[in-house]
Amino acid sequence: MTMMQAPSYVQAPQAPASTMFNQGTVMQAPPMLNQGPPPASLTQGIPTPDQITAQKTAYASALDKQLADGMVTIQKETEIEKSMVMFTADKQLALMQMQIEEQRNEQIALLDEQATIRQCELRKAFVERKIQLDNQAEGLTMDYQMKFIQTELAQKTWAFEQTYGIAERALEAEYNEQVAKANAGTTYSVPAQAVGQ
């Protein structure tokens, strides 16, 4: 792009002192003209107003494009930065969720372990109590059976004694009756000689 150049200015030539009017003097004749080359163009090398307008329009168009490109770049950078922020936030959320889920799983596993231990302790107490109950029931059953046998033996002994006692009393009564009869003697007497004959 062509840059605008600042216009250069040349100082206007000064008139010689002889041509100036002084009070009380007569005007002198002008000196002879210099017959050198014509003065150079002061606008040579600088852009014309049309060129300036064209350059201004091109530069303004370039500025507009630069502005538009800059806005698009800023939007893209903002979108990328937003994506990075979203990614970082999602990553942190995922990490926090993983940590929370890990803590939850640890707590659940701990509760399961505690429940298993409590169930084992409950089963142990159940088995011990059942063994104790079985032993107690067996002891009571054996005690009952022993007492039942003892009662049955006592009842049989009592019944035997009752039966034996009645028979014994009957035999004793009969024996006593026979003894009484033997001691009472006979109602008739036999002569001694006749018995000896």
Q: Do the Cβ atoms of 62 and 1 come closer than 8 Å? A: yes
pLDDT in tens, 154-176: 988 888 888 888 888 888 888 88
Over range 92-101, report the average pLDDT.
Answer: 95
Quickly list DSSP for 140-170: HHHHHHHHHHHHHHHHHHHHHHHHHHHHHHH
pLDDT in tens, 68-87: 999 999 999 999 999 999 99
What is the percentage of the chain residues whose pLDDT exceeds 90?
A: 50
Its sign, for the CA torsion 96, 100, 102, 103, is positive
Cα-based distances in Å from 37 to 12, 40, 45: 17, 9, 19
| pLDDT at 19 (0 to 100) | 46
| pLDDT at 167 (0 to 100) | 82
* 149 pLDDT above the threshold of 90: yes
Return the structure tokens found at 165. Answer: 């006692």
- Identity of the amino acid at 151: T
Cα-based distances in Å from 110 to 33, 101, 115, 119, 166: 118, 14, 8, 14, 82
Q: Do the Cβ atoms of 49 and 1 come closer than 8 Å? A: no
* 5 pLDDT above the threshold of 80: no
**Rounded distance, CA 20 to CA 195, Å?**
238
Query: Which residues of the chain form beta strands (DSSP E)?
Result: none
